[in-house]
């Protein structure tokens, strides 16, 4: 009933948020016309700012636009268009096609399926576009996938990575960020064992839970503090009838977002207070940055219940991959069979979601991989998101990622 209660609340609040959003520009105009130079922060401006804060504090369930229209490559500004390469009921293989004839390494970015859309990696993709031909897994919102499309669990996630690499063809590179590091390593292990021609030349794992027994975080502790029955009975819902995926069992994106918000609640409250003051004082640049972040952060996507529950059980409770017990369609995953794919693991010093050592564990699992094909990088001073977004990603992490990919190409 949580999903139905949430939808009822949204139906009640959305008209008020729409009204607040429409009212704010007019209030700013009225304030400008009656501006007192001795008192620029008038009650009208404060009321307009409150309307903008209220309208921002809303969830959406549709993927935002990537909005990557051009990229600078060397001294040239190249136009970029989105190209749908391949589609399944659960995901789209999306390519950011640059208008150039220059060949660059093909890279598949595997986006996390963790309550947000792949657009959360917009800046990751934009940065990598400078030197690479970039593709991304654009996961669909589970509540929009008809139940007739079947189940989606870890097996199907691995299937998608292998299928997308196969569509891209031999010689590609794989970059997994956060949660899909487990599935990406599993996919490459299977492809290496099968001598698949599209086995990637390099595998980059960034801030992912390869072995959550190492330096367990609050997220890891929460996952092990309850039995699986608790997760199934308290967090899994059926999609309401008004959506294409009606009756599909999902872990709702709004529930996942609530968990993320509660982890750093005071920080988010402060961000909204700051947003209010930025609008009131006319600090438009900072206000716009805050607005863009939360519009993206509040765009939520439901997860298939099968995938969510299997992730909690196999990754966070049983540590199946790290213990050599993870299976894909009844086949044991054997990372030790990876012998030709260059491996880069990346971690953030202050990561409170995937702590130091959890991603590094992949290096030990790939025990037969020659040392010259292994690289580990720790970025000082960043948390989880700083590993793949922001200035330190762009100026310090990315050069290492680029170097490994180009060396293996």
| Secondary structure (DSSP) of 14-75 | HHHHHHHHHHHHHHHHHHHHT--TT--S-HHHHHHHHHHHHHHS--B-SPPP----EEEETT
Verify that 176 and 309 share a domain, yes or no.
Answer: yes
68 pLDDT higher than 70: yes
Asked if 250 contacts 143 with a C-beta cutoff of 8 angstroms, the reply is yes
Verify that 288 and 325 share a domain, yes or no.
Answer: no
CA angle 64, 56, 110 (to 5 degrees): 30
Closest listed residue to residue 158, CA positions, set 220, 213, 113: 113
Burial of 145 (0-12, 13-18, 19+ CB in 10 A): buried
Verify that 336 and 190 share a domain, yes or no.
Answer: yes
Tokens of 357: 């050592």
Tell whether 14 is covered by a domain: yes
CATH number reported for the structural domain that contains residue 163 in this entry: 3.40.50.1820
Measured CA to CA, the distance from residue 313 to residue 209 in angstroms comes to 13
This prediction's pTM: 0.90
Tell whether 49 is covered by a domain: yes
Measured CA to CA, the distance from residue 72 to residue 100 in angstroms comes to 12
Closest listed residue to residue 52, CA positions, set 35, 36, 31, 67: 31
Domain hosting residue 25, numbered range: 2-58+281-297
Verify that 87 and 11 share a domain, yes or no.
Answer: no
DSSP H helices, 68-180, are 122-128, 154-168
Verify that 50 and 187 share a domain, yes or no.
Answer: no
Tell whether 214 is covered by a domain: yes
263 pLDDT higher than 90: no
Neighbouring residues of 310: CB distance < 8 A, sequence distance ≥ 6: 153, 154
Tell whether 244 is covered by a domain: no
**Backbone CA torsion sign across 216, 219, 225, 227:** negative
Across 21-25, 153-157, 226-230, 361-365, least confident range: 21-25
Q: Which of 271, 297, 323 is the last residue of a domain?
A: 297
Tell whether 162 is covered by a domain: yes
Measured CA to CA, the distance from residue 127 to residue 72 in angstroms comes to 9
Verify that 54 and 186 share a domain, yes or no.
Answer: no
Tell whether 238 is covered by a domain: no
Verify that 90 and 198 share a domain, yes or no.
Answer: yes
Beta bridge partners of 134: 96, 107
pLDDT (0 to 100) of residue 261: 84
| 187 CB-side CA count, 13 A | 31
Which strands make up the sheet holding 202-206, listed edge to edge? 70-73, 76-87, 91-98, 133-139, 106-110, 173-177, 202-206, 342-348, 374-379
Tokens of 61: 């369930």
Q: Which of 243, 264, 297 is the last residue of a domain?
A: 297
Verify that 29 and 155 share a domain, yes or no.
Answer: no
Neighbouring residues of 41: CB distance < 8 A, sequence distance ≥ 6: 280, 281
Verify that 21 and 115 share a domain, yes or no.
Answer: no
Provide mean pLDDT across the span 118-144. 97
Strands 133-139 and 106-110, bridge-based pairing: parallel
Which strands make up the sheet holding 237-238, listed edge to edge? 237-238, 249-251, 303-304
Asked if 291 contacts 56 with a C-beta cutoff of 8 angstroms, the reply is yes
- Band of pLDDT at residue 184, cut at 50, 70 and 90: very high
Q: Which of 245, 262, 297 is the last residue of a domain?
A: 297
For 118, the 3-state DSSP assignment is: helix
For 125, the 3-state DSSP assignment is: helix
The label of the residue with tokens 């391949």 reads 86
What kind and span of H or E run contains 10?
helix 2-33
Tell whether 253 is covered by a domain: no
**Backbone CA torsion sign across 190, 195, 197, 200:** positive
Provide mean pLDDT across the span 15-27. 68
Residue 84 is given by DSSP the state E
Provide mean pLDDT across the span 378-385. 96
Verify that 288 and 326 share a domain, yes or no.
Answer: no
The count of domains in the chain is: 2
Tell whether 141 is covered by a domain: yes
R_g of the chain computed on alpha carbons: 22
- Band of pLDDT at residue 23, cut at 50, 70 and 90: low
Residue 140 is given by DSSP the state P
Measured CA to CA, the distance from residue 264 to residue 329 in angstroms comes to 38
Verify that 8 and 84 share a domain, yes or no.
Answer: no
Which is more confidently placed, 21 or 29?
Answer: 21
The predicted-structure confidence for 196-254, as pLDDT tens digits, reads as follows 999 999 999 999 999 999 999 988 998 999 999 999 999 999 999 999 999 999 999 99
Determine how many CB atoms are found less than 10 A away from the CB of residue 37: 5
39 pLDDT higher than 80: no
Verify that 310 and 288 share a domain, yes or no.
Answer: no
pLDDT (0 to 100) of residue 218: 87
**Backbone CA torsion sign across 378, 380, 384, 385:** negative
Please give the mean pLDDT across all residues of the chain.
91
At 9, phi and psi to the nearest 5? Answer: -60, -40
């Amino acid at each position: 009933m949580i999903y139905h209660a949430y939808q009822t609340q949204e139906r009640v609040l959305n008209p008020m948020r729409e009204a607040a959003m429409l009212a704010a520009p007019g209030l700013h105009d009225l304030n400008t016309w009656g501006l007192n130079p001795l008192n620029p922060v008038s009650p009208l401006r404060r009321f307009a700012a409150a309307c903008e804060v209220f309208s921002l504090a809303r969830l959406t369930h549709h993927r935002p636009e990537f909005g990557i229209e051009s990229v600078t490559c060397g001294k040239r500004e190249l136009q970029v268009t989105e190209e749908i390469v391949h589609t399944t009921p659960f995901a789209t293989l999306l390519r950011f096609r640059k208008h150039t004839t220059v060949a660059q390494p093909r890279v598949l970015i595997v986006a996390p399926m963790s309550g947000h859309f792949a657009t959360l990696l917009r800046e990751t993709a934009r940065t990598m576009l400078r030197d690479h031909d970039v593709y991304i897994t654009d996961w669909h919102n589970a509540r929009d996938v008809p139940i007739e499309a079947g189940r989606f669990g870890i097996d199907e996630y691995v299937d998608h990575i292998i299928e997308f690499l196969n569509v891209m063809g031999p010689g590609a590179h794989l970059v997994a960020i956060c949660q899909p590091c487990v599935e990406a390593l599993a996919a490459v292990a299977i492809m290496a064992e099968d001598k698949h021609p599209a086995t990637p030349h390099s595998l980059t794992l960034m801030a992912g839970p390869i072995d959550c027994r190492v330096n367990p975080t609050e997220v890891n502790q929460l996952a092990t503090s309850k039995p699986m029955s608790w997760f199934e009975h308290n967090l899994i819902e059926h999609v309401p009838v008004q959506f294409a995926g009606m009756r599909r069992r999902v872990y709702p994106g709004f529930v996942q977002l609530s968990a993320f918000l509660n982890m750093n609640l005071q920080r988010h409250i402060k961000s909204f207070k700051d947003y209010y003051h930025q609008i009131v004082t006319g600090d438009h640049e900072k206000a716009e940055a805050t607005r863009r972040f939360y519009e993206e952060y509040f765009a939520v996507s439901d997860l298939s219940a099968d995938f969510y529950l299997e992730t909690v059980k196999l990754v966070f409770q049983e540590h199946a991959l790290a213990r050599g017990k993870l299976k894909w369609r009844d086949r044991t995953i054997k990372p030790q069979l990876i012998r030709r794919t260059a491996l880069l693991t990346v971690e953030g010093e202050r990561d409170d979601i995937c702590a130091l050592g959890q991603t590094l564990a992949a290096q030990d699992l790939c025990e037969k991989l020659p040392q010259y094909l292994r690289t580990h990088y720790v970025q000082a001073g960043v948390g989880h998101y700083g590993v793949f977004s922001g200035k330190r990603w762009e100026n310090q992490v990315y050069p290492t990622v680029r170097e490994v990919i180009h060396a293996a190409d």
